[in-house]
């Protein structure tokens, strides 16, 4: 049994479905229901309020932070869990802007996930006084980093195309210009061999419900480079980021290091699910996951290109230039994806015309990829997307 | 069987314990384990990503918001769930400040929960330009509301003493002075007969893990008065508060009404637990809960004062002037509470000397109150707090 057969056995996947949307919502790890039942009954139910100490709840955001941190090349003690990714983006941006007084520009790209841009837009409006969110095309980022830029904020992997930024190079370029770099690892953590410490990132953020399989609405994480951790002022200064939360002082004093990026009471039930999900990474390391993702993606690209000539690859062919997804453009992408899902292959659609497929080696193998190609060949070959039932738009996909 | 016998049967309370800390963390509702198991297996496990539509996840923050809203006198469609209470405080403050341009003062009191003050402090520092958090004693609030005040931000019930502010009167006073009023209902929602609409509140926020029994880290709620809902700019402008999240536009457009106060992906597992917990309020209404809380609190006060002369009541005797808790000061309060907990009565301690007991009629009855008094009489009468083992401080209580 290979290591990836072992990890595949850890997930409860529905019969007859190939799931290539783990980059939106990771599937249910088999360990989760039991872990949740135990946590809810034995900790919440029996220990009640005392579980914050006795069951280690209060320390969970840091404990789980270290487990996520190990997957992204973070120093121990530099990652903490909590809130949503949008909130963590805001925290990183607000702190970073203050660390570059006199500069007013947040630089990002038009391929960034919209919520990151919205949070930056919201912050810039609140701050006023000349602050600006400047957007350029992804390929124009390097040249747009100038001495006006306070913060470069990028998502490493484009959620539509799968194009991967060169994190170390762009971070170095930002630092040369005197700017800080914030990296959103939503589509990286648990998928790619990321090295935030080696790559020099100042801040990194990400979610845990995609490749990390923490469940719907699982908490986000934030990394603060240790060199900044005692300097960064948390704009969202909540009591659990206080140096002494249970002193109930009137005034705020930031906690030690990344602890100050905690805000309110952590979502313990979600954290318990995530903690169980992370056990999969005790079986395989990130280098092996990333390498195997490359092999599976190459196989999927070759299969689809051979079978579906009207699907146009938009993801880079070079594995080092892409994340762990493969996207194709198709003029009837929305309806086509509905038809594909109805035939047992779950991917997702991103406007305007992108059919997106997540490559998740923890539970996808060659047989799944081949089956996915078969389904695509059948559905696209028969142009099933033309059927009216697949053309009906739903609110969310 | 009385209605309150029915609600008591809905909770799984450990044998031999009287739980008077439901104002910190509500106990486990018996329905939760089954509901979580079903949600995790049938929705996350089987429906995977499609559960956002098919299982109604995307609408859950509003759906559950209406259920919480019904308990605080909110208009339908004016409450939404998500994030933590500290984040919701920040959202309300940031929006409200912008609605009173030219005014720079947030007025609050020294009895407010520290996290609310920390969030205000953080916002004021970010905004600069003369913004100020002004703190006065709770009894001095009414007189401190002047034409400089942009926003009055208060917690209705003092987390230490249980003193209850007069929400309608102070809100009216704020409005007369041209200010807006934000009410934190952390210790009110599910405990008191609150009427945010009738009382004129502009914004209200609260958590759902205390009297609402949603579980550790359950999401917070925010109420925006319908007259402001299309005006308030969300400073934390996340994608799920966007008018069309799945259009993935580059620019932010606020969603309809209170929807704009959504930020990131909702914590669906926590929301499922909360939704199950709220079923208790289908059995009894808030007026009955509040009335019975008054009766139980009076009984507890009378019993403790008769049995424990060295415990000094700090909660108002008048039921209309207090929340659903009873607090006593004792010079050895910390150790005393440890000893009391060891003898089967769970309350909590709040610095510097407060022994705090939550009154929660959904699962406490006269026999529990009498047993609590017995335990206190025994522990305090024997001065067990003097034993060294109870003097050892833990990080969290």
| Average pLDDT for A330-352 | 96
Give how far the C-alpha of residue A191 lies from the chain's centroid of Cα atoms, to the nearest Å. Answer: 9
**Is a pLDDT exceeding 50 seen at residue A187?**
yes
Reported ipTM: 0.97
**Is a pLDDT exceeding 50 seen at residue A137?**
yes
In the structure, what pLDDT confidence band is assigned to residue A395 with cuts at 50, 70 and 90? low
The strand pair at A345-346 and A18-19 is best described as parallel
- Radius of gyration for the alpha carbons in chain B, expressed in angstroms and rounded: 21
**Best to test chain B binding among A45, A101, A216 (most B CBs inside 10 Å):** A216
Q: CA-CA distance, B209 to B271, in Å (whole number)?
A: 11
For chain A, percent of residues with pLDDT exceeding 90? 97
**Is a pLDDT exceeding 60 seen at residue A336?**
yes
In the structure, what pLDDT confidence band is assigned to residue B207 with cuts at 50, 70 and 90? very high
Sequence-distant (6+) residues with CB within 8 A of A99 are A180, A228, A231, A232
Give how far the C-alpha of residue B8 lies from the chain's centroid of Cα atoms, to the nearest Å. Answer: 21
In the structure, what pLDDT confidence band is assigned to residue A397 with cuts at 50, 70 and 90? very low
Strands (E), A165-272: 180-184, 203-206, 221-224
Average pLDDT of chain B, as a whole number: 97
Q: Per DSSP, what are the bridge partners of residue B352?
A: none
**Is a pLDDT exceeding 90 seen at residue A361?**
yes
pLDDT reported for residue B392:
85
Do the chains contact at B236 and A119, CB–CB below 8 Å?
yes
**Is a pLDDT exceeding 60 seen at residue A36?**
yes
In the structure, what pLDDT confidence band is assigned to residue A118 with cuts at 50, 70 and 90? very high
Please spell the DSSP secondary structure of B47-100, one letter per residue: IGGGHHHHT-TTTHHHHHHHHHHHHTTPPTT-EEE-S-HHHHHHHHHHHHHHTS
* Facing residue for B236 by CB, picked from A90, A237, A350: A90
Partners of A216 on chain B (C-beta within 8 Å) are 44, 51-52, 57, 265-269
B349 touches chain A (CB under 8 A): no
Do the chains contact at A238 and B270, CB–CB below 8 Å?
no
Q: CA-CA distance, B97 to A9, in Å (whole number)?
A: 53
A268 touches chain B (CB under 8 A): yes
Q: What is the pLDDT of residues A192-201, one digit of tens each?
A: 999 999 999 9
Q: CA-CA distance, A52 to B3, in Å (whole number)?
A: 32
DSSP helix/strand/coil, A159: coil
Do the chains contact at B36 and A36, CB–CB below 8 Å?
yes
Average pLDDT of chain A, as a whole number: 97
pLDDT reported for residue B397:
42
**Best to test chain B binding among A44, A96, A274 (most B CBs inside 10 Å):** A44
**Residue (of B6, B44, B309) closest to A214 by Cα position:** B44
In the structure, what pLDDT confidence band is assigned to residue A304 with cuts at 50, 70 and 90? very high
* Facing residue for A87 by CB, picked from B24, B264, B396: B264
Partners of A251 on chain B (C-beta within 8 Å) are 117, 121
| Residues of B marked as catalytic | 113, 184, 209-210, 356
Write down all domains in chain B, each with its CATH number in brackets: 3-29+284-391 (3.90.1150.10), 33-282 (3.40.640.10)
Q: Note if the bond before A352 is cis, omega within 30 degrees.
A: yes
**Is a pLDDT exceeding 70 seen at residue A394?**
no
| Average pLDDT for A16-26 | 97
**Is a pLDDT exceeding 90 seen at residue B393?**
no
In the structure, what pLDDT confidence band is assigned to residue A71 with cuts at 50, 70 and 90? very high
Which of A262, A292, A322, A356 is the catalytic position? A356
In the structure, what pLDDT confidence band is assigned to residue B394 with cuts at 50, 70 and 90? low
Contact A25, B49 (CB under 8 A): yes
The strand pair at B203-206 and B149-155 is best described as unpaired
Q: Please, is B262 exposed, middle or buried when counting C-beta atoms within 10 Å of its C-beta (0-12, 13-18, 19+)?
A: buried
DSSP helix/strand/coil, B114: helix
Please spell the DSSP secondary structure of B211-254, one letter per residue: TT---TTPPPEEEE-TTTTTT---SS--GGGBSSGGG--SS--B
Q: CA-CA distance, A373 to A360, in Å (whole number)?
A: 16
- State the DSSP code for B41: I
Q: What is the pLDDT of residues B321-375, one digit of tens each?
A: 999 999 999 999 999 999 999 999 999 999 899 999 999 999 999 999 999 999 9
Q: What is the pLDDT of residues B139-179, one digit of tens each?
A: 999 999 999 999 999 999 999 999 999 999 999 999 999 99
The strand pair at B354-358 and B325-329 is best described as antiparallel
Contact B373, B18 (CB under 8 A): no
DSSP helix/strand/coil, A94: helix
* Facing residue for A119 by CB, picked from B51, B216, B238: B238
Do the chains contact at A118 and B53, CB–CB below 8 Å?
no
Q: CA-CA distance, A117 to A108, in Å (whole number)?
A: 8
For chain A, percent of residues with pLDDT exceeding 70? 99
B56 touches chain A (CB under 8 A): no
Contact A193, A286 (CB under 8 A): yes
Q: Note if the bond before B352 is cis, omega within 30 degrees.
A: yes
pLDDT reported for residue A392:
85
DSSP helix/strand/coil, B178: coil
Element (H, E) at A172: helix A167-176
């Amino acid at each position: 049994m290979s290591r990836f057969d072992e990890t595949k056995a850890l997930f409860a996947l529905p019969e007859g479905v190939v799931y290539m949307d783990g980059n939106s919502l990771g599937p249910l790890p088999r360990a989760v229901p039991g872990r949740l039942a135990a946590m809810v009954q034995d900790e919440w139910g029996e220990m009640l309020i005392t579980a914050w100490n006795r069951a280690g709840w209060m320390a969970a955001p840091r404990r789980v932070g270290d487990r996520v941190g190990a997957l992204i090349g973070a120093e121990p003690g530099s990652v903490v869990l909590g809130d949503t990714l949008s909130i963590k983006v805001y925290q990183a941006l607000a702190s970073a802007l203050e660390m570059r007084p006199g500069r007013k520009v947040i630089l990002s790209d038009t391929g960034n996930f919209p919520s990151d841009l919205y949070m930056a837009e919201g912050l810039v409006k609140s701050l006023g006084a000349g602050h600006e969110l400047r957007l350029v095309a992804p390929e124009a980022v390097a040249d747009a980093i100038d001495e006006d830029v306070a913060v470069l904020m990028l998502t490493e992997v484009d959620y539509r195309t799968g194009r991967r930024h060169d994190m170390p190079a762009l971070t170095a370029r930002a630092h040369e210009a005197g700017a800080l770099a914030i990296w959103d690892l939503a589509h990286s953590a648990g998928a790619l061999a990321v090295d935030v410490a080696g790559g020099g990132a100042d801040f990194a953020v990400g979610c845990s419900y995609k490749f990390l399989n923490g469940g719907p609405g699982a908490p986000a994480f934030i990394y603060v480079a240790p060199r900044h951790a005692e300097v960064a002022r948390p704009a969202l200064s909540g009591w659990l980021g206080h140096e002494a939360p249970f002193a109930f002082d009137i005034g705020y004093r930031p906690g030690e290091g990344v602890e100050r990026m905690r805000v309110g009471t952590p979502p313990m039930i979600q954290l318990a699910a995530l903690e169980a999900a992370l056990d999969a990474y005790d079986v395989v390391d990130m280098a092996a996951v990333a390498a195997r993702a490359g092999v599976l993606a190459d196989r999927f690209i070759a299969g689809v290109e051979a079978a579906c000539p009207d699907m146009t690859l938009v993801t880079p062919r070079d594995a080092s230039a892409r994340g762990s997804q493969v996207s194709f453009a198709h003029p009837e992408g929305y309806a086509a994806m509905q038809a594909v899902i109805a035939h047992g292959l779950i991917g997702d659609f991103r406007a305007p015309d992108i059919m997106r497929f997540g490559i998740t080696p923890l539970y996808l193998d060659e047989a799944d990829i081949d089956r996915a190609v078969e389904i695509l060949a059948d559905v696209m070959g028969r142009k099933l997307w033309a059927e009216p039932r697949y053309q009906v738009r739903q609110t969310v996909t």
